[in-house]
């Protein structure tokens, strides 16, 4: 079986100012096979989200190499990384990140339009097929505000699959829904993994999610460990702040990438839709920037 992801001696150090450094990842080696459903578990502040961000091309390692689908992304510039994320990675976030003014169908169509490889008819057909695949064939024309949290997450999963990515990475995919809904989402992920052979890498605190995975990787203090930690110290305030900051940075990278794709697709969409999308993305982008600046001030 060929590998979807290879990490070779990957480390990540964040400089927070005034000489304060946080070592989020420490010389990690990890292989993920194509078609695998992998869960990454560990306490808050252990480096899980940082690891996911580097695999998805949303953050660069301080040292080491990151290889995805046979491509070394370690030394890529932002333009190359944006193309890599667009073509090779599907993102599923805890808080969905759907565009509120668009229907479920239009949300799934967006990354296909940005890619620019299919006609409008083919784009609509693929998006429709994906929504039917996740059980939302009757909800295509509903906006996020008209859908439950579980339905919104399934739209997000369909959107992540839109451009047939090499991997789908999900940060706490069941973290913002109730247990019953989370179980349904998990079954959808398992189904997609089995029927499509899609590679999934999940970060989770939920033992139900990890137990349904083919393999579990445990993290503690920025390192991968072979067994679940027997006892875990309460993470420091600094570690918790940094973990939250990494989650926000992941969303920030996704939004920036969406803005890049929007500009690239400007000539092929109606000006009213372009203006609405740009205003929506820009507003959320500014909110995230303020939240990140606030976390830096607290630290």
pLDDT digit string, tens, across residues 8-59: 988 887 665 555 555 555 678 889 999 999 988 887 777 788 888 888 888 8
Highest mean predicted confidence (pLDDT) among 113-127, 209-223, 262-276? 113-127
25 versus 252: which is more confidently predicted?
252
Predicted pLDDT at 199 = 92
pLDDT of the residue at 49: 81
Q: How far is CA 280 from CA 58, 100, 148, 225, 259, in A?
A: 21, 8, 21, 41, 10
Residue 240: pLDDT over 60: no
Q: Taking all residues of the chain, what is their mean pLDDT, rounded to a whole number?
A: 80
pLDDT at residue 25, rounded to an integer: 53
pLDDT at res. 236: 57
- Whole-angstrom Cα distance, residue 85 to residue 5? 14
Residue 108 has pLDDT above 90, yes or no: yes
3-state helix, strand, coil in the chain (%, to 5): 45, 20, 30
**Arithmetic mean of pLDDT, 286-294:** 70
Task: Note whether 260 and 82 are within 8 A (CB).
Answer: yes
pLDDT at 232: 45
From 65-74, 83-92, 168-177, 247-256, the region with the lowest mean pLDDT: 247-256
| Angle ∠(54,57,58) on CA atoms, nearest 5 | 80
Residue 117 is predicted with a pLDDT of: 81
The mean pLDDT of 253-269, rounded to a whole number, is 73
State the average pLDDT over residues 204-215.
Answer: 80
pLDDT digits (tens, 9 = 90+) for 52-89: 888 888 888 888 899 998 889 998 888 888 888 888 88
Q: Which residue has the higher pLDDT, 129 or 212?
A: 129
> 177 by DSSP, 3-state: which?
coil
pLDDT on residue 61: 85
Q: Which strands sit side by side in the sheet containing 3-17, from one edge to the other?
A: 20-33, 3-17, 63-68, 71-72
Domains of the chain: 3-298 (3.40.50.300)
Report whether pLDDT(127) > 70.
Answer: yes
Residue 169 per-residue DSSP state: E
* The overall pTM is greater than 0.85: no
Which of the four pLDDT bands, split at 50, 70 and 90, describes residue 246?
Answer: low
**Overall average pLDDT of the 133-138 stretch:** 85
Of these ranges, 156-160, 186-190, 244-248, the one predicted with the greatest mean pLDDT is 156-160
More confident site: 288 or 2 = 2
- pLDDT band of 100, cuts 50, 70, 90: confident
Are 167 and 69 spatial neighbours (Cβ–Cβ below 8 Å)? yes
Indicate if the pLDDT at residue 244 is higher than 70: no
In sequence order, the 6+-apart residues with CB closer than 8 A to the CB of 230 are: none
pLDDT confidence band for 273 (50 / 70 / 90): confident
| C-alpha count within 13 angstroms, C-beta hemisphere, residue 299 | 24
Q: What pLDDT is stored for residue 5 in this prediction? A: 92
């Amino acid at each position: 079986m060929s590998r979807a992801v290879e990490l070779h001696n990957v480390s990540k150090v964040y400089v927070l100012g005034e000489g304060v450094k946080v070592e989020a990842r420490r010389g990690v080696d990890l292989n993920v096979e194509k078609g695998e459903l992998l869960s990454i578990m560990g306490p808050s502040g252990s480096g899980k989200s940082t690891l996911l961000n580097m695999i998805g091309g949303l953050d660069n390692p301080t040292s080491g190499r990151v290889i995805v689908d046979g491509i070394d992304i370690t030394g890529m510039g932002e333009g190359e990384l944006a193309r890599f994320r667009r073509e090779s990675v599907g993102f599923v976030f805890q808080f969905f990140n759907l565009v509120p003014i668009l229907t479920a169908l239009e949300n799934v169509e967006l990354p296909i339009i940005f890619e620019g490889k299919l006609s409008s008819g083919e784009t609509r057909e693929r998006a429709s097929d994906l929504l039917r695949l996740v059980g939302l064939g009757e909800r295509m024309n509903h906006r996020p505000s008209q859908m439950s949290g579980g339905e919104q997450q399934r739209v997000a999963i369909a959107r992540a699959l839109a451009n047939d990515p090499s991997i789908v990475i999900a940060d706490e995919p069941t973290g913002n829904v109730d247990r019953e809904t989370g179980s349904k989402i998990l079954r959808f992920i398992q189904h997609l993994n089995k029927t499509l052979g899609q590679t999934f890498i999940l970060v989770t605190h939920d033992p139900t999610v990890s137990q349904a995975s083919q393999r579990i990787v445990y993290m503690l203090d920025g390192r991968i460990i072979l067994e679940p930690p027997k006892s875990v110290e309460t993470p420091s305030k600094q570690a918790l702040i940094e973990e939250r900051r990494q989650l926000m940075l992941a969303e920030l990278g996704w939004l920036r990438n969406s803005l890049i794709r929007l500009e690239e697709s400007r000539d092929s969409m109606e000006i009213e839709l372009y203006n609405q999308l740009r205003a929506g993305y820009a507003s959320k982008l500014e909110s995230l920037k303020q939240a990140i600046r606030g976390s830096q001030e607290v630290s």
